[in-house]
């Protein structure tokens, strides 16, 4: 058994003289949700289509659970489940009959128990005997996941899986993916919804203009400099006086915004008690001090803007 559910090495795609994907390499560990981030046209979908063999690679290697797509295509594809774009079904058949039809086409035997198991996993047990044409978009997405994991793949690959879902559907879908990951199935997911990716993923890679420009853990989405400087939000009785005091006594503390009774400050951790003491000694009531965490959107913009500046130098 391979250490990784998916390994992508030097993946490249050129069309004519244009390079769509340029020497991209990454690995997806077992039981993790790995996100591909990037603006529209960055090459995310092209990468996914090459991994699932919907389009040919110009160069590079793809290994799925240790099986090389070039040398062991059947074995590799049997370790893979995927939803690229919207899942399609026979709408005049029930969800159960669609799964049964897919089970008959699988390389390995799929038992009735397995069909019932995945049906329950994605929360469709009460609707599995209804015709698919009666399903909502969210239900069809869940049926798609059931179909994709029916044969117990090592990795599930999803391209923009939450497109068109309402907030409730997105949350349910995210919960299903976390449950899958906890049971050992790896997930590679591409999306432009950064807030959802932050809640969903363990690690992420940023693709821009076909290149992989950054890869890190979702829990490490701050730069080393950002760890030294924190953003806090303070609610107090006299924000105008508070700003004046900071300007006079703590010149290295930056007031980044002021809204109503709240100030947003850029500070070092050790300065927070001194700031609180300064306010209290000057008869300013401090109602709340909150730590403002950097979002994935902040990190994404920081990285992509930095990459653009470096290219201009």
Mean of pLDDT values over 273-301? 82
Q: Is 159's pLDDT higher than 80? A: yes
Q: How confident is the model at residue 226 (pLDDT cuts 50, 70, 90)?
A: very low
How many percent of the chain have pLDDT more than 90? 43
Q: Which CATH architecture has domain 4-220?
A: 3-Layer(aba) Sandwich (3.40)
Total-model pTM: 0.73
Task: Mention every residue, 6+ apart, whose C-beta is less than 8 A from residue 203.
Answer: 29, 32, 34, 35, 215, 216, 217, 218
Q: What's the angle, vertex CA 226, arms to CA 224 and CA 232, rounded to 5?
A: 150
What DSSP state is assigned to residue 294? Answer: P
Please determine, looking at this structure, whether the domain spanning 224-292 carries the CATH number 3.40.50.300. Answer: no
Question: In the chain, what percentage of residues exceed pLDDT 70?
Answer: 89
User: Confidence class of residue 223 from pLDDT cuts 50, 70 and 90?
Assistant: very low
Q: Which of 190, 287, 189 is nearest to 236 (CA)?
A: 287
> 218: pLDDT confidence band, cut at 50, 70 and 90?
confident
When pLDDT is averaged across residues 216-237 and rounded to a whole number, the result is: 70
The Cβ of residue 9 has, within 10 Å, a number of other Cβ atoms equal to 15
Which residues have C-beta within 8 Å of that of residue 204, sequence separation ≥ 6? 34, 35, 36, 37, 197, 215, 216, 218, 296
pLDDT of residue 179: 87
**Higher model confidence: residue 120 or residue 294?**
120
- Asked if the model's pLDDT at residue 84 lies above 90, the reply is no
Q: What is the pLDDT of residue 304?
A: 66
Look at residue 199 in the predicted model and tell me its pLDDT: 84
Q: How confident is the prediction for the chain on average, in pLDDT?
A: 86
Read off the pLDDT of each residue in 263-286 and give the average, rounded to a whole number: 90
Tell me the per-residue pLDDT of 91-143, one tens digit each, with 9 for 90 and over: 999 999 999 998 888 777 889 999 998 898 888 999 999 999 999 888 888 89
Rounded average pLDDT over 262-286: 90
Mean pLDDT of 19-39: 92
Rounded mean pLDDT, 158-181: 83
Instruction: Taking residues 151-168, report their average pLDDT.
Output: 84
Phi, then psi, of 275 in degrees rounded to 5: -65, -45
Q: Where are the domains of the chain?
A: 4-220, 224-292
What's residue 300's pLDDT? 66
Quick check: 20 pLDDT over 70?
Answer: yes
The yes-or-no verdict on residue 313 having pLDDT over 50 is no
| Alpha helices (H) along the chain | 44-51, 73-78, 95-105, 112-121, 137-149, 167-182, 194-200, 224-228, 239-249, 272-281, 296-312
What is the sign of the dihedral through the CA atoms of 303, 309, 312 and 313? negative
Which of 85-89, 102-106, 234-238 has the lowest average pLDDT? Answer: 85-89
Which of 1-10, 22-31, 133-142, 213-222 is least confident?
Answer: 213-222
């Amino acid at each position: 058994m391979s250490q990784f559910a998916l390994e992508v090495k030097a993946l490249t795609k050129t069309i004519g003289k244009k390079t769509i994907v340029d020497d991209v390499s990454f690995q997806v560990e077992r039981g993790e949700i790995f996100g591909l981030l990037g603006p529209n046209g960055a090459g995310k979908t092209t990468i996914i289509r090459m991994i699932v063999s919907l389009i040919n690679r110009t160069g590079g290697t793809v290994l799925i659970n240790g099986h090389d797509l070039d040398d062991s295509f059947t074995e590799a594809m049997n370790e893979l489940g995927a939803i690229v774009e919207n899942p399609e079904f026979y709408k005049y058949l029930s969800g159960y009959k669609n799964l049964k039809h897919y089970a008959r086409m699988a390389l390995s035997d799929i038992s009735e128990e397995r069909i019932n198991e995945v049906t329950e996993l994605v929360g469709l047990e009460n609707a599995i005997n209804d015709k698919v044409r009666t399903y909502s978009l969210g239900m069809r997405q869940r049926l798609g996941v059931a179909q994709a994991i029916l044969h117990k793949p090592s990795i599930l690959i999803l391209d923009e899986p939450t497109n068109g879902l309402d907030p409730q559907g997105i949350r349910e879908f995210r919960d299903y993916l976390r449950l899958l990951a906890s049971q050992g199935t790896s997930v590679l997911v591409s999306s432009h919804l950064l807030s959802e990716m932050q809640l969903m993923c363990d690690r992420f890679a940023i693709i821009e203009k076909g290149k992989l420009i950054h890869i890190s853990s979702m829990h490490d989405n701050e730069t080393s400099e950002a760890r030294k400087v924190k953003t806090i939000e303070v609610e107090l009785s006299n924000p105008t006086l508070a700003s004046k005091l900071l300007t006079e006594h703590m010149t290295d503390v930056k007031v980044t915004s002021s809204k109503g009774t709240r100030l947003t400050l850029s500070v070092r951790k050790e300065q927070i008690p001194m700031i609180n003491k300064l306010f209290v000694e000057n008869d300013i009531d401090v109602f709340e001090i909150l730590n403002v965490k950097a979002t994935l959107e902040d990190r994404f913009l920081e990285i992509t803007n930095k990459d653009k500046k470096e290219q201009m130098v």
